[in-house]
């Protein structure tokens, strides 16, 4: 059995590729390397370099390798930047998904696991998000992910596409020391950058109605996330019933203050975070229920916060050492 992973040279995609291979599923990586890295692709996975907008190359790749399903991770993932680059965001995430679905139809590939996002919810009016929580995306990125889900649903009606979408919040950690988060916008890389540069990390607001006054969010280990993608791929391949969407969440979350304290402990660099003003629109707590995913995808939090931070730090230090 062979599955194609779009964006498989990126931080999340590379972990999905490794999880597929570990499960005995051959993986083909399709990536334009705009943000992904060829070094993240394991030696036993084939890398095809191409843009998600190249329908012919996608179709040829699917056909040549007798691909049976796609894990679609490729996309422009920077929610904040998407506000300044909406057209680019929609081109990569909406047009790209439509092109991929067209290539799949041409090649006769009928299964897809879509990497969606908790950004489809915007700022929910509940502190425990379920799949039925109203969708109110607040950025072009969030909008594009919701439209991607619609495209899959419409293609199911039109052509029988078998699909599911996985929505998740903050992905951290490393399941392989050779792969680390390279995003310039995510919390863990930002804190590591500050500590390695001799700067003090910052917390935006410490007066929220939470146990320590800092925002509470859902942080998920990337290896746990990758396992959920494999479980979804297997379930689709077996023709077993699935929900159209699943939240991947912890059900309780951790605070930014907890993250900072664990960072100091793991890195051995003592610091007291600088406290800045709240960012407009930041809710006190956003945590997702993972009950449906636990039922169908064997979803669970297999890593502690300590393990999340330690694995991320180890991978980052390896990268710094070259």
Chunked into runs of 10 residues, the chain (322 residues) has average pLDDT values of 98 98 98 96 97 98 98 93 95 98 98 96 90 95 97 98 96 96 92 95 94 95 98 98 97 95 97 91 88 97 97 94 77
Domain boundary among 248, 266, 289: 248
| Buried/exposed code over 89-100 (b: 16+ C-beta within 10 A; e: otherwise) | bbbbbbebbbbb
42 and 147 belong to one structural domain:
yes
pLDDT confidence of residue 30: 98
pLDDT confidence of residue 125: 87
Range of the domain at 274: 187-217+250-321
Q: Is 141 among the catalytic positions?
A: yes
305 and 294 belong to one structural domain:
yes
Question: Which residue in 201, 212, 137, 209 sits closest to 167, CA to CA?
Answer: 137
Strands 170-172 and 254-255: unpaired
Residue 139 vs residues 64, 77, 87, 146: alpha-carbon distances, Å: 37, 11, 12, 11
Q: Classify residue 294: in a domain, yes or no.
A: yes
238 and 314 belong to one structural domain:
no
What's the structural domain count of the chain? 2
Residue 21: CB atoms within 10 A of its CB come to 15
Q: Which residues, 6 or more positions from 238, have their beta carbon under 8 angstroms from its beta carbon?
A: none
pLDDT confidence of residue 98: 98
Q: Are 111 and 162 in contact (CB under 8 A)?
A: yes
Q: What helix, strand, coil percent values describe the chain, rounded to 5?
A: 45, 20, 40
122 and 211 belong to one structural domain:
no
pLDDT confidence of residue 127: 80
238 and 287 belong to one structural domain:
no
Measured CA to CA, the distance from residue 96 to residue 2 in angstroms comes to 21
223 and 255 belong to one structural domain:
no
98 and 47 belong to one structural domain:
yes
pLDDT confidence of residue 320: 84
155 and 60 belong to one structural domain:
yes
Q: Classify residue 178: in a domain, yes or no.
A: no
Q: Classify residue 227: in a domain, yes or no.
A: yes
pTM of model > 0.85: yes
244 and 300 belong to one structural domain:
no
206 and 93 belong to one structural domain:
no
Q: Classify residue 100: in a domain, yes or no.
A: yes
Q: Classify residue 293: in a domain, yes or no.
A: yes
Q: What is the dihedral of CA 251, 77, 297, 41, to 10 degrees?
A: -130
Domain boundary among 228, 248, 268: 248
pLDDT confidence of residue 282: 80
pLDDT confidence of residue 130: 97
30, 141, 168, 180: the active-site residue: 141
Measured CA to CA, the distance from residue 318 to residue 40 in angstroms comes to 13
Q: Classify residue 181: in a domain, yes or no.
A: no
Output phi, psi for 166, to 5 deg: -110, 120
104 and 196 belong to one structural domain:
no
Measured CA to CA, the distance from residue 33 to residue 54 in angstroms comes to 14
CATH classification at residue 114: 3.40.50.720
Q: Are 277 and 204 in contact (CB under 8 A)?
A: yes
CATH classification at residue 313: 3.90.25.10
273 and 133 belong to one structural domain:
no
Q: Classify residue 180: in a domain, yes or no.
A: no
Q: Classify residue 179: in a domain, yes or no.
A: no
């Amino acid at each position: 059995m062979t599955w194609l992973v779009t964006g498989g040279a990126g931080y999340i995609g590379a972990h999905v590729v490794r999880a597929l291979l570990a499960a005995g599923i051959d993986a083909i990586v399709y990536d334009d390397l705009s943000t992904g890295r060829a070094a993240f692709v394991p030696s036993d996975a084939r890398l095809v370099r191409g843009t998600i907008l190249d329908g012919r190359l996608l179709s040829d790749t699917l056909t040549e390798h007798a691909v049976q399903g796609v894990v679609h991770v490729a996309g422009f993932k920077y929610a904040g930047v998407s506000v300044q680059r909406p057209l680019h965001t929609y081109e990569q995430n909406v047009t790209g998904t439509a092109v991929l679905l067209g290539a799949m139809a041409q090649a006769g590939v009928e299964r897809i696991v879509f990497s969606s996002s908790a950004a489809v919810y915007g700022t929910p009016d509940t502190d425990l998000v379920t799949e039925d929580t109203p969708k109110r995306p607040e950025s072009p990125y969030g909008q594009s992910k919701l439209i991607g889900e619609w495209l899959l649903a419409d293609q199911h009606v039109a052509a029988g596409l078998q699909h599911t979408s996985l929505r998740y919040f903050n992905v951290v950690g490393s399941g392989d020391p050779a792969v680390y988060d390279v995003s310039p916008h995510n919390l863990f890389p930002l804190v590591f950058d500050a500590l390695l540069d001799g700067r003090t990390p910052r917390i935006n607001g410490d007066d929220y109605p939470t146990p320590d006054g800092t925002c509470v969010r859902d942080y998920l280990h990337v290896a746990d996330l990758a396992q959920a993608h494999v479980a979804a791929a297997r379930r689709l391949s077996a023709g077993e019933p699935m929900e159209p969407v699943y939240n991947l969440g912890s059900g309780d979350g951790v605070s930014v203050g907890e993250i900072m304290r664990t960072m100091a402990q793991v890195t051995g660099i003592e610091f007291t975070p600088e406290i800045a003003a709240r960012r407009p629109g930041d809710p006190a707590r956003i945590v997702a229920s993972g009950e449906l995913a636990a039922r169908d995808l064997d979803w669970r939090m297999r890593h502690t916060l300590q393990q999340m931070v330690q694995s991320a730090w180890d991978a980052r230090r390896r990268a710094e050492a070259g």
